[in-house]
Amino acid sequence: MNELNNKILKIGKEVKIAILAVASLVIFYLGFNFLKGIDFFNPSNEYFAIYEKIDGLTVSNPVLLSGLPVGRVSEIEILQDQDHKVKVYFEVREDIQLGQNSEAVLNTDLLGSQSIILQINKVEQPLSEDSEIRGSIRPALTEQIQEQAYPVLQTLDSVGKHLNGILANIDGNEQLINGILADIKKTTDALSEVSEKEATIKALIDDFKKITGTLSDEKKGLAAILAKANGIADSINALEVGKVVNRLDTTLANVNSLIASMQDGQGTVDKLLNDDSLYNSLNKTLVDLDKLLIDIQEQPKDYVHFSLFGRKSKDE
């Protein structure tokens, strides 16, 4: 009896060890698959989508809906008869219904991790299990950045070339730029000088205002001056202009009469103008007189005698 009990105890220990080992394996298997996204306690439906490429998608990568994991990639197959497209099977929780307008978008995040994002849209008729869902690929964030950065880089390159051209023009036109800067300095100096003479300019403006005020004055201004000028003109008009004109006519008549008598050969003036002998005699007399004056200047003693003791007689 004791031996039988010992055998039973030995068998019980072996069974216990075996049961513990099996339980450990089951727990390990369940835990491993749970970590892979396989939930044995929630039933799921399997669908598939076909992609041109999968960019490193692997089995057990998550299936997301609004950012929440609702399934996993279960199998990946290459379709050699369809230009090596990739057929991806994935499981989705049974309580999530997919329709004909649903889409499985392959997404790559910034760190390079892949996942499938479900876009269910409006479900009019739920799809059955093992149905195909339209697959699409969302450009990676790095690709989006490159696409958006490429035009910016081109613009920066154009700006850089433009700046280089401007700098080259500046180097070539250094003398012109220096001249412009010198002109600007002269202008600023002139403005400074004007600002320094602001008081003088202000005084000139004040004087101009006074002058304009005086001109606008009714008693002393331009109107009064014009009134005086009109009075002078009226006085001139009031003179006996007729008498002055008559006297002028009389004088002109006398002059005409004198000229007529000269032309008729009457009077001394006409003889001086028309008689050559009288002119020659008068001219000869003037010449002799001129010679006499010259001789007196040269030999004054022959004509003038002066003595302190009186004049001697010719007999002495």
Q: Give the model's confidence band at 308: pLDDT under 50 very low, under 70 low, under 90 confident, else very high.
A: very low
Residue 91 and residue 223: Cα distance in Å, rounded? Answer: 109
Which residue type sits at 129? E
What integer best gives the mean pLDDT of the chain? 76
The sign of the torsion formed by the CA atoms of 91, 96, 102, 107 equals negative
Q: How far apart are the first and last CA of the chain?
A: 229
Q: Which residue would you say has higher pLDDT here, 43 or 238? A: 43
- Asked whether residue 221 carries a pLDDT value surpassing 60, the answer given is no
Burial (Cβ within 10 Å: 0-12, 13-18, ≥19) of residue 57: buried
- Give the best-scoring range by mean pLDDT among 28-32, 78-82, 146-150: 78-82
- Give the best-scoring range by mean pLDDT among 19-33, 123-137, 178-192, 282-296: 123-137
For domain 41-138, the CATH class is: mainly beta
Q: Which residue would you say has higher pLDDT here, 97 or 173? A: 97
- Asked whether residue 135 carries a pLDDT value surpassing 90, the answer given is yes
Convert the chain into a string of H (helix), E (strand) and C (coil): CHHHHHHHHHHHHHHHHHHHHHHHHHHHHHHHHHHCCCCCCCCEEEEEEEECCCCCCCCCCEEEECCEEEEEEEEEEEEHHHCCEEEEEEEEECCCCCCCCCEEEEEECCCCCEEEEEECCCCCCCCCCCCECEEEECCCHHHHHHHHHHHHHHHHHHHHHHHHHHHHHHHHCHHHHHHHHHHHHHHHHHHHHHHHCHHHHHHHHHHHHHHHHHHHCCCCCHHHHHHHHHHHHHHHHHCCHHHHHHHHHHHHHHHHHHHHHHHCCCCHHHHHHHCHHHHHHHHHHHHHHHHHHHHHHHCHHHCCCCCCCCCCCCCC
Q: Give the model's confidence band at 309: pLDDT under 50 very low, under 70 low, under 90 confident, else very high.
A: very low
Domain range annotation of the chain: 1-35, 41-138, 173-239, 241-272
Q: What is the pLDDT of residues 245-276, one digit of tens each?
A: 666 677 777 767 766 666 665 556 556 556 66
pLDDT at 314: 45
pLDDT at 36: 59
Q: What is the pLDDT of residues 28-44, one digit of tens each?
A: 877 766 665 556 566 88
- Asked whether residue 77 carries a pLDDT value surpassing 90, the answer given is yes
Residue 97 and residue 116: Cα distance in Å, rounded? Answer: 16
Q: State the average pLDDT over residues 202-222.
A: 70
pLDDT at 142: 66
